[in-house]
C-alpha cells in the first residue's frame, strides 16, 4: 500500500476529546523549519559578506585598471614627446649634414694664403674637423631680415594693393587665420595682407618653392594640388586655401623643402618687403594715434616723451555696445579712458530728478576718468555707450586683473555683462571677434601702471611743470648706480691704448703683412674669426673676417656698419674691444680682443648645465654689459651662450654685435633679427621692439644655463615661434630650476614688454635687486675682484685649446667693389 493510502490513527482521551497521532511530529516540523531558516539566514549573511568582499576586490581592480590606464596615458604622452624630439633631432641632423656637405664643397669661405697654410699644416685635421662638426650640432645660429632703414624707398600701401573679389578676400582671410603664426596678427594687419596679395600661376611639374633656395614669399593655394618634397622624398600634399611658406616673410631663409605643382595651380602670394611694411605701418600708425590721444589730454600735455611712450605700452583696448555702462556713478575707479571710436553719454543723478539726467555727450578724442590717474576716484557720473562698437583706450593705474573682475574680452564688470545676457554675443561685430582671436596674449595680463610709468606723485611733478625734478631724480639714481658701477664709460687702459697705437701703423688693406694666423676660433654665415699674432711679437688678437659679397647679397651692410661703430665706441670690461678695422676687395676685417677662455656655450655643452652660483656669475656679467649698452642707447638683440666668451680671468665678454643697434629714447625698431630660441614675442609679431627684448633674452639665458637647453624649441623655426607666442606663464619648470631663479625668469619673460623686469620705472636695478642675487657682490664683479667660477688656465697669448677645430678655407669669394665699406 502506498503512502497516500495511509490514515492517521485517532485516540480517545478521558474527557472524550480526540487528538491526532501526529501532533508531536508537527512540533518537530516547526523546530526543523526554524533551524532551516536560521541556516538560510546564516548562509545569506555569508553570501552578503562574500558579495561585499568581491565588490571591494572588484573596486580595487577597477582602481588598479584606472591607475594602469593613467600610467599608459602618461607613457603614451612621453612616447609622443620623445617621438617629436627624435623628429626634431633628425631634422637638425639633416640640416647639419647639409651644412657639412656645403662646407666640404665650394661653400667654404676663402682665406688668405697664410691662413690656408696654417690650416693644412695641422696633424690629423680631418679627424678633428669631424669631431668638431659632431660636437657643434646643437649650436644656435642667428637670423635676420634686411634692416628697415629710413633710406629705403617709402612704402605706398595704395600702390601695393591688388583688386580682388569680396569672396576671394573672405577665402584668403580664412586661410590666413588657420595658420598658427598669422592667426595671432591683428585684424587690420590681416586685412592689409589680403589687400596686397597678388596672383601667381604655375604649370604642372613646375616648382613653386625649391629646397635650398632663398625664400621671399608667402603663398595661399587657391586652385589645384601641390606636393611637398624633402630630399626628393614625398612628405605631404597641400590642398586649396592652405597657407605655406610663412617663414620667408619674417627674414632671409633658405627653403627647407620643395613644393611642386601636381597640375596647373593658382596661388596668391605676398612679398616679404610688403609684409614687413604692413606690420610696421599698422603698428606705427596705432602707436602714433595713441600717443596723440594721450598728448591731447591736458593732464598729460607736459609729460616727458619716455613716460608717454611707456603709457602707450600700458594701453588696453576695450569695446562696448549700446547701453552698456563703461563706468557707474558712485563706484570707485582707478581707470582712465580715451574714446578712440564712437559716442558715449554722460549721466548724473540730481536732487531735482528721479532718474539720472544726460549732462553731456563725448565722442572720438574725448576722455574721462582722468582723476583716476591722480588718486582712487569715486565716479561722479555714469558713462554709457551711445552706439554699438564704442572703442576705448584704457589705462589702469593699478593691476587691472586684480582691481576688477574682467570679462574675457573687454574687461567689463561681470555685473554689467549679466545685465546684457543674450544681447552682447549677437551684437559683436567682426572687428571684436577678430580681436578676441588675437587677444590671447593680452588677456589676463597685469597692466601695472604704477610699476611701469610711475605713481601720480611722481608724475605730478611733470604735470606741474617740474620736468627738471625728474632729470634731477634720474641724475641721483644714475649717480647711485655709478657709485657701484665703476666700469661705466671707463677710459681705455694703458695696455689697450698701446695696442691701438701699435696696430694703427698697419696697412689699411693688407692686414696679413703684419699678422699671421695661428688657428680658427669660430665660423659663421658671414665669415670666420681667426686667432692671429703680430709677426715677431707675442701679441695676439682675434681677427673677424667678413665676406663682402655675402653681406651685400643679404642686404646686411647697415648691420655691419652698426657693429663697427658700436664696438669702436664701447668702453666696458664686459664687452669685447675693437682695435682696428681693415678692408680689401673681398673682405672687411675687425681686429678684436682675443678672449681665449673659450665659449660659454661649449663649456655648457660639456657640463650639461651650470650650478646656480656659476649661472649667477654669468648672468651678472651679462646684466652689467646690458646696463652699459642700454645707458648708451644700444640694443643688443643676439644674446645666447654662443656669443659669450671668457677672458683669461674667466670673466664673460659679450661678442658679435652684428644685430646691435643704437636707438633714441622712446624709439622702436622693426627689423626681425636674433636667434629663434631667444627672440621675444613682439619681434615675431612685428610690433616694433626696444630694450625690453634684451630682458626677455636674459630670462631665456638663465633657463638655458640652469638646464642646458632653452625653454622654447620646436621641430622647426615656426614651431619654436608658436611656442614662444604661447608664453612661459603656464609652463612647468624642471626641478633643476629652484624657486628664486624661476621667479626671475618668469618676470623677465612677461609677454607684455612694458611689464618685464628691467623695463619698469627702476630699470635694470630691479634685476640686480631680485632675490636670486641676494648676497651677490655686484661691486666685486665690476671691480673684477670676485673670483670667477669659470676661470681656466692658459699657457700663453696664443693658447687656443679651449676652442673647437674648424676646417680651413680653400676657396676665394668674388670681389665686391660697390663701395659700401668706405668707412672701414
Positions annotated as catalytic residues are 638
List the grid coordinates of 296: 591731447
For the chain, report the end-to-end CA distance as a whole number of angstroms.
Answer: 139
Q: Is 666 annotated as a binding residue?
A: no
Question: What are the backbone angles phi and psi of residue 42, rounded to the nearest 5°?
Answer: -60, -40
Query: What is the distance, to the nearest Å, from the Cα of residue 8 to the centroid of all Cα atoms in its chain?
Result: 106
* Burial class of residue 348 (count of CB atoms within 10 Å of its CB; 0-12, 13-18, 19+): middle
List the grid coordinates of 649: 680671468
Residue with cell 636674459: 698
Of the candidates 127, 135, 138, 131, the one whose C-alpha atom is nearest the C-alpha of residue 95 is 138
Between helices 692-707 and 739-748, what is the axis angle to 10°? 150
Q: Is 215 annotated as a binding residue?
A: no
| Rounded Cα distance, 16 and 751, in Å | 113
Residue with cell 603656464: 730
| Rounded Cα distance, 682 and 461, in Å | 32
382: CB partners within 8 A, 6+ apart: 325, 327, 328, 329, 346, 347, 348, 356
In the chain, the largest separation of any two C-alpha atoms, in whole Å, equals 159
List the grid coordinates of 630: 642700454
Q: Is 730 annotated as a binding residue?
A: no
Q: What are the start-end ranges of the H helices in 708-809?
A: 717-726, 739-748, 765-768, 778-783
List the grid coordinates of 221: 593655394
Supply angle C-alpha 318, 322, 323, rounded to 5: 105
Question: What are the backbone angles phi and psi of residue 320, rounded to the nearest 5°?
Answer: -135, 145
Cβ–Cβ under 8 Å, residues 318 and 400: no
Q: Is 525 annotated as a binding residue?
A: yes
Q: Is 548 annotated as a binding residue?
A: yes
Cβ–Cβ under 8 Å, residues 535 and 584: no
380: CB partners within 8 A, 6+ apart: 329, 348
Q: Is 162 annotated as a binding residue?
A: no
| Rounded Cα distance, 344 and 185, in Å | 29
Q: Is 592 annotated as a binding residue?
A: no
Q: Is 104 helix (H, G, I), strand (E, B) or coil?
A: helix
Cβ–Cβ under 8 Å, residues 576 and 653: yes
11: CB partners within 8 A, 6+ apart: 18, 19, 21
List the grid coordinates of 90: 633628425
64: CB partners within 8 A, 6+ apart: none
Q: Is 763 annotated as a binding residue?
A: no
List the grid coordinates of 230: 624633402
Cβ–Cβ under 8 Å, residues 385 and 323: yes
Between helices 305-314 and 272-296, what is the axis angle to 10°? 110
Q: Is 522 annotated as a binding residue?
A: yes
Dump strand ranges (E) for 79-142.
Answer: none
Question: Would you say how long the chain is, in residues?
Answer: 824
**What are the binding residues for ATP?**
521-529, 544, 548
**What are the binding residues?**
521-529, 544, 548
Amino acid at each position: 500500500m502506498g503512502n497516500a493510502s495511509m490514515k492517521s490513527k485517532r485516540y480517545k482521551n478521558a474527557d472524550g476529546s480526540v487528538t491526532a497521532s501526529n501532533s508531536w511530529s508537527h512540533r518537530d516540523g516547526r523546530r526543523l523549519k526554524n533551524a532551516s531558516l536560521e541556516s538560510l539566514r546564516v548562509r545569506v549573511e555569508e553570501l552578503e559578506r562574500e558579495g561585499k568582499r568581491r565588490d571591494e576586490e572588484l573596486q580595487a581592480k577597477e582602481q588598479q585598471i584606472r591607475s594602469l590606464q593613467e600610467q599608459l596615458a602618461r607613457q603614451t604622452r612621453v612616447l609622443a614627446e620623445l617621438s617629436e624630439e627624435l623628429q626634431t633631432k633628425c631634422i637638425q641632423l639633416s640640416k647639419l649634414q647639409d651644412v657639412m656637405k656645403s662646407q666640404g664643397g665650394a661653400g667654404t669661405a676663402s682665406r688668405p694664403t697664410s691662413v690656408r697654410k696654417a690650416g693644412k699644416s695641422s696633424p690629423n685635421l680631418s679627424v678633428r674637423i669631424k669631431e668638431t662638426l659632431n660636437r657643434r650640432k646643437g649650436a644656435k645660429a642667428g637670423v635676420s631680415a634686411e634692416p628697415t632703414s629710413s633710406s629705403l624707398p617709402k612704402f605706398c600701401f595704395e600702390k601695393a594693393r591688388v583688386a580682388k573679389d569680396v569672396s576671394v578676400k573672405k577665402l584668403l582671410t580664412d586661410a590666413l587665420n588657420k595658420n598658427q603664426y598669422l592667426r595671432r596678427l591683428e585684424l587690420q594687419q590681416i586685412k592689409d595682407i589680403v589687400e596686397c596679395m597678388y596672383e601667381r600661376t604655375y604649370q604642372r611639374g613646375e616648382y613653386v618653392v625649391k629646397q635650398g633656395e632663398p625664400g621671399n614669399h608667402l603663398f595661399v593655394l587657391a586652385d589645384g594640388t601641390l606636393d611637398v618634397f624633402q630630399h626628393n622624398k614625398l612628405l605631404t600634399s597641400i590642398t586649396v586655401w592652405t597657407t605655406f611658406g610663412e617663414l620667408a616673410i619674417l627674414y632671409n631663409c633658405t627653403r627647407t623643402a620643395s613644393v611642386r605643382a601636381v597640375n596647373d595651380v593658382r596661388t596668391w602670394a605676398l612679398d616679404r618687403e610688403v609684409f614687413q611694411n604692413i606690420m610696421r605701418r599698422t603698428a606705427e600708425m596705432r602707436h602714433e594715434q595713441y600717443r596723440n590721444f594721450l598728448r591731447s589730454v591736458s593732464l598729460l600735455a607736459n609729460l616727458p616723451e619716455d613716460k608717454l611712450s611707456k603709457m602707450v605700452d600700458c594701453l588696453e583696448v576695450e569695446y562696448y555696445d549700446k547701453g552698456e555702462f563703461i563706468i557707474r556713478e558712485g563706484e570707485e575707479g582707478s581707470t582712465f579712458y580715451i574714446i578712440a571710436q564712437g559716442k558715449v553719454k554722460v549721466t548724473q543723478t540730481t536732487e531735482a530728478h528721479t532718474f539720472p539726467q544726460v549732462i553731456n555727450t563725448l565722442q572720438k578724442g574725448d576722455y574721462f576718468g582722468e582723476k583716476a590717474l591722480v588718486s582712487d576716484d569715486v565716479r561722479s557720473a555714469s558713462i554709457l555707450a551711445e552706439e554699438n562698437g564704442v572703442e576705448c583706450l584704457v589705462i589702469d593705474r593699478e593691476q587691472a586683473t586684480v582691481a576688477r573682475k574682467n570679462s574675457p574680452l573687454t574687461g567689463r564688470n561681470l555685473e554689467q555683462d549679466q545685465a546684457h545676457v543674450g544681447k552682447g554675443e549677437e551684437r559683436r561685430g567682426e572687428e571684436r571677434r577678430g580681436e578676441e582671436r588675437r587677444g590671447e596674449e593680452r588677456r589676463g595680463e597685469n597692466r601695472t601702471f604704477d610699476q611701469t610709468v610711475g605713481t601720480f606723485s611722481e608724475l605730478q611733478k611733470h604735470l606741474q611743470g617740474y620736468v627738471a625734478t625728474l632729470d634731477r631724480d634720474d641724475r641721483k639714481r644714475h649717480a647711485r648706480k655709478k657709485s657701484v658701477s665703476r666700469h661705466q664709460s671707463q677710459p681705455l687702459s694703458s695696455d689697450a691704448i698701446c695696442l691701438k697705437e701699435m696696430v694703427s701703423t698697419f696697412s689699411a688693406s693688407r692686414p696679413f703683412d703684419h699678422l699671421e694666423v695661428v688657428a680658427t676660433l669660430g665660423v659663421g654665415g658671414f665669415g670666420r674669426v681667426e686667432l692671429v699674432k703680430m709677426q715677431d711679437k707675442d701679441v695676439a688678437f682675434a681677427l673677424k673676417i667678413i665676406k663682402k659679397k655675402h653681406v651685400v647679397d643679404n642686404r646686411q651692410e647697415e648691420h655691419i656698419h652698426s657693429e663697427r661703430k658700436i664696438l669702436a665706441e664701447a668702453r666696458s670690461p664686459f664687452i669685447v674691444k675693437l682695435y682696428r678695422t681693415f678692408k680689401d676687395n673681398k673682405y672687411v676685417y675687425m681686429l678684436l680682443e682675443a678672449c681665449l677662455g673659450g665659449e660659454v656655450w661649449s663649456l655648457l655643452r660639456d657640463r650639461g648645465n651650470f650650478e646656480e652660483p656659476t649661472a649667477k656669475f654669468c648672468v651678472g656679467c651679462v646684466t652689467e654689459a646690458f646696463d652699459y649698452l642700454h645707458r648708451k642707447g644700444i640694443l643688443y638683440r643676439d644674446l645666447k651662450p654662443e656669443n659669450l666668451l671668457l677672458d683669461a680671468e674667466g670673466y664673460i665678454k659679450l661678442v658679435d654685435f652684428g644685430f646691435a643697434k643704437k636707438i633714441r629714447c622712446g624709439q622702436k625698431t622693426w627689423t626681425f633679427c636674433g636667434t629663434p630660441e631667444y627672440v621675444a614675442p613682439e619681434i615675431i609679431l612685428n610690433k616694433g621692439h626696444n630694450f625690453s627684448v634684451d630682458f626677455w633674452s636674459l630670462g631665456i639665458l638663465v633657463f638655458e644655463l640652469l638646464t642646458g637647453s632653452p625653454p622654447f624649441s620646436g621641430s622647426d623655426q615656426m614651431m619654436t615661434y608658436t611656442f614662444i607666442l604661447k608664453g612661459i606663464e603656464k609652463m612647468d619648470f624642471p626641478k633643476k630650476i629652484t624657486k628664486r631663479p624661476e621667479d626671475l625668469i618668469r618676470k623677465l619673460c612677461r609677454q607684455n614688454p612694458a611689464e618685464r623686469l628691467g623695463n619698469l620705472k627702476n630699470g635694470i636695478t630691479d634685476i640686480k635687486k631680485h632675490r636670486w642675487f641676494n648676497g651677490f657682490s655686484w661691486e666685486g664683479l665690476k671691480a673684477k675682484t670676485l673670483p670667477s667660477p669659470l676661470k681656466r688656465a692658459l699657457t700663453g697669448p696664443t693658447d687656443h685649446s679651449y676652442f673647437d677645430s674648424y676646417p680651413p678655407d680653400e676657396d676665394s669669394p668674388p670681389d665686391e667693389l660697390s663701395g659700401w665699406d668706405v668707412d672701414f
